[in-house]
Chains A and B, each alone.
Chain A
Amino acid sequence: MQQLLEGEKELIIEKVGEILGKHGSDRENLIPILQEVQDSLGYLPGLSMEIIAEAMDIPSVDVFGLTTFYNQFRLNPPGKHQIKICMGTACYMVGGRIALESFERHLKIGEGETTSDRKYSLETVACVGCCAIAPVVVVNEDIEGKVTPTRVDGLMLAFEADEQEEEQKEAEENEEKGD
C-alpha cells in the first residue's frame, strides 16, 4: 500500500470520521461509506480502511477483502487525468484494444497503472453505453468517441499543452511570491 504524504494522515482521519459520523456503523453501510471515502479522497488509503473496520467492529482484513473484490475501489491514488478505455463488446470490436495500446505506448504504463508522476492513470471499463460512437474513451468525465490512434495522439498533445500552461502559471506564481 501507498506511503502517505505529509499531512495526508490528518486529512484521512478527519474525512473518514466525518463520513462515519453520517452513516452509523451498521455493516450494511460499509460499501456506501467506502464509496464516499473514495469520492472524497480519490482512493482508499490503508489507514482509512483500518479506521472504518475499527468503527464497525469488523476485522480490517474483511474491509481489505471487500475493496480488492470490487472494481470500483482503488487502493492507490489515481492520476490527475483518469483515462478509461471502454472495453465493451462494440468498442472492443472496432479497436478499443488498439486505443488502449496507443495510450500504453504514450504513457509507458499498463492497464490499471498510474504514471510515477501521478499525472495519468489508465483503466478499462465495460460498456459506457455509447456504442454508436465506438471506440469510446472516457477522459476524466468527458466521453470521447471514435478514438483512433491519431485521436489518441491529439488527446495526449492537448493534455501536454494543458500541463505546460499550468506549469507556466505555477512558475509565474512562484516568481511573484519570490519577489
Chain B
Amino acid sequence: MSKKITLTIDGREITAPEGEKLLWVALDNDIYIPNLCAVKEIDPPQASCRLCFVEVEGYREPVTACNLAVTEGMVVKTRSPAVDRLVKTAFELLLSDHRLKCSECPKNRSCELQKIAKERRLKLRLTRFRPLVKDLPIDDSPDTFAFDPTRCVLCGRCVWEDHEVAGVGAIGFSRRGIDRRVTTFGDTSLADSPCIECGFCVEVCPVGALSFKE
C-alpha cells in the first residue's frame, strides 16, 4: 500500500495515496476539474486536451492536473483568473473544430462539452473564433454505431479502448497538426476495417463523435 499524504484543494484538506495524479484525487473527492483526454490507465498521461489547468502553490503558471502527482502539503486552487482564461480559450478552440448542433446530436445532455460549459459558465458557441470544422463524412457503416469525425475532440479514449482493452486495432490516429484525426487503415469505412463492433470505443466517447444507433 502506498503512503497516504495530505493536500489542500480549494481550501479542503484531502488525504490521497502519494503519487496519485491530482486530477483523479480531485474527481474522487467530488471536486470537478474539466477534462476530456484523461484515462487513468494511460501512463504517462496524454495531457492533450489542455482543459485540466489548476493553480498549484510553488508553480508560476497554471499546470495540468492530469499529469501532476500529488505530494504532501500540496496546495491547489482549481480556479483563478489565469486558469479560467486558459480553460476558456482551450474550450472555445475545441468548439471551433466541433460541429455545433447540440439539438441534433445524439449525445445532447450527456455530452462532456456541455458539462464543462455548465460547470465553468462557458458559452456553447463561438464568440472569438471562426469555425474550422472540416468537411468529413459521417461513417455509419457499422450495424450498431456511427462515427462523426466532425464532432471528434481527439481525446484519444476510443483509440485506447480499441488498442489496449478490446485489442482489435481498427482505429488509430493519423496525420499531423490540424489534419490529425481518428481513422481506419487507408481511411476506409469501419465496416471495411477489422472492427468487431464491440462498442467499447462508443462507450468512452465523451462527445457525439461515436454514438450507438437508436
Chain A: residues with CB nearer than 8 A to chain B? 1, 46, 49-50, 58-65, 68-69
Contacts and interface: CB of A to CB of B under 8 A. Distances in A.
A36 B174 CA distance: 21
- Label chain B's interface by main secondary structure: loop
B175 A59 contact: no
A169 to B, nearest CB: 38
Interface residues of B, number: 16
Nearest to B171: A61
Contact of A64 (B168, B172, B176): B172
Given A59-B169, A61-B193, A62-B169, A46 B186 contact: yes
Given A59-B163, A62-B169, A68 B185 contact: no
B176 A60 contact: no
A59 B173 CA distance: 12
A65 B186 contact: no
B35 interface: no
Tell which of A49, A61, A62, A69 has the most Cβ of chain B within 10 Å: A61
Contacts of A62: 169, 172
Nearest to A70: B176
Contacts of B168: 59
Given A60-B185, A61-B169, 16 more contacts: A49-B185, A50-B185, A59-B169, A60-B169, A61-B170, A61-B185, A61-B193, A62-B172, A64-B174, A64-B185, A65-B175, A68-B174, A68-B176, A69-B174, A69-B175, A69-B176
Contacts of B171: 61
B150 interface: no
B78 interface: no
